[in-house]
A and B are shown apart, each in its own frame.
Chain A
Amino acid sequence: MTPIRRRTFLKGTLAASAAGLAAAAGLLKPGLARAAEWSKNAFEAKKVDEALTNLFGSAQTTPSAGVKIKAPLQAENGAVVPIQVTTDLPNVTTIAVLVEKNNQPLIAAVSLTGAAPFFSARMKMAQTSDVHVVVKSAGKLYSAKQTIKVTVGGCGG
């Protein structure tokens, strides 16, 4: 009696876990797997182009007036530089913020799956530098940049 019960029990568990795995794989495949991956290469890249290539697969961007950066022209404290990004472009899927002269230029990459194309944060800047914002809209990359002057650097301290 015992061995049979054990067998059916095992069979049951195996089937259940197989189904669970399949469901998990199916669910994770489209959006979540991509979103769940923190792009180490892009964040550790030392150059803007390198970071963009790692993030988007291309560093070719088109400057666009539709990408708006709201940030101070001069920041007194490089450790806390507020930035706000908005855009008029349609179907925005990703917003990336990069500081050219930071050791690791990529600040943040936002993947949007329903939210409005807007992002705000506070970032650290090592020194006066161009800030690039790259927006992926309908599969194409658009960019805008602004120079922010920094009087006291925010990295190293």
Chain B
Amino acid sequence: MARQTRIRTRMQDGATEILVLVNHPMETGQRVNPQTKEKIPAHFIQKMTFMLNGKEVAVVDMGVAVSKDPLVGIRVKGAKAGAKVRITWSDNKGESGEAETTVS
């Protein structure tokens, strides 16, 4: 299933900030459906990998308490304009997504 993964970069405090927004429910597994009284199964992103020019620079491991539609940011120093940024994510149900951009 394709979920929207958006990525953008911006200069912040002398570093390049990479912001990723994934359209994802991030269910905790603790919410109860009010109609059926059944627990809504957990469904959340577990891993997000950031790559700069093909090299892994950061891996974010997430738990259920990251908000719905996660917006995650990391920073890299000394990235040149045109450098390729690629991120991939995967969740506990085996779904995954990716996005790519270049540093502006």
Interface residues of A (CB under 8 A from B): 31-32, 35, 38-39, 43, 79-81, 84, 99, 102-104, 106-116, 118-125, 154-157
Query: Is A121 within 8 A of B76, CB to CB?
Result: no
The answer, yes or no, to whether B28 is at the interface (CB within 8 Å) is yes
Interface residues on B, range: 20 to 34
Query: Is B63 within 8 A of A108, CB to CB?
Result: yes
Q: Using A102-B65, A114-B57, A116-B76 as known contacts, say yes or no to A155 and B28 having CB atoms under 8 A apart.
A: yes
Q: Determine which of B15, B66, B68 lies in contact with A118 in the assembled complex, contact meaning CB atoms within 8 Å.
A: B15
Query: Is B76 within 8 A of A115, CB to CB?
Result: yes
Q: Determine which of B55, B61, B65, B66 lies in contact with A114 in the assembled complex, contact meaning CB atoms within 8 Å.
A: B55
Query: Is B68 within 8 A of A79, CB to CB?
Result: yes
A residues near B58, Cβ cutoff 8 Å: 110-115
The answer, yes or no, to whether B99 is at the interface (CB within 8 Å) is no
Query: Is A119 within 8 A of B60, CB to CB?
Result: yes
The answer, yes or no, to whether B84 is at the interface (CB within 8 Å) is no
Q: Is the interface of A mostly helix, strand, loop or mixed?
A: mixed
Query: Is B52 within 8 A of A118, CB to CB?
Result: no
Q: Determine which of B15, B17, B28, B66 lies in contact with A108 in the assembled complex, contact meaning CB atoms within 8 Å.
A: B66
Query: Is A155 within 8 A of B74, CB to CB?
Result: no
Query: Is A38 within 8 A of B70, CB to CB?
Result: no
Q: Using A38-B61, A113-B59 as known contacts, say yes or no to A107 and B73 having CB atoms under 8 A apart.
A: no
A residues near B28, Cβ cutoff 8 Å: 124, 155
From A38, A80, A118, A157, name the one whose CB has the most chain B CB atoms within 10 angstroms: A118
User: Can you list 17 A-B pairs with a CB-CB distance of less than 8 A?
Assistant: A31-B56, A38-B61, A79-B68, A81-B67, A109-B60, A112-B57, A112-B58, A113-B56, A114-B52, A114-B56, A114-B58, A119-B72, A119-B74, A121-B66, A121-B71, A124-B67, A156-B31
Q: Using A111-B58, A119-B74, A120-B73 as known contacts, say yes or no to A99 and B15 having CB atoms under 8 A apart.
A: no
A residues near B72, Cβ cutoff 8 Å: 119-121
Query: Is B59 within 8 A of A108, CB to CB?
Result: no
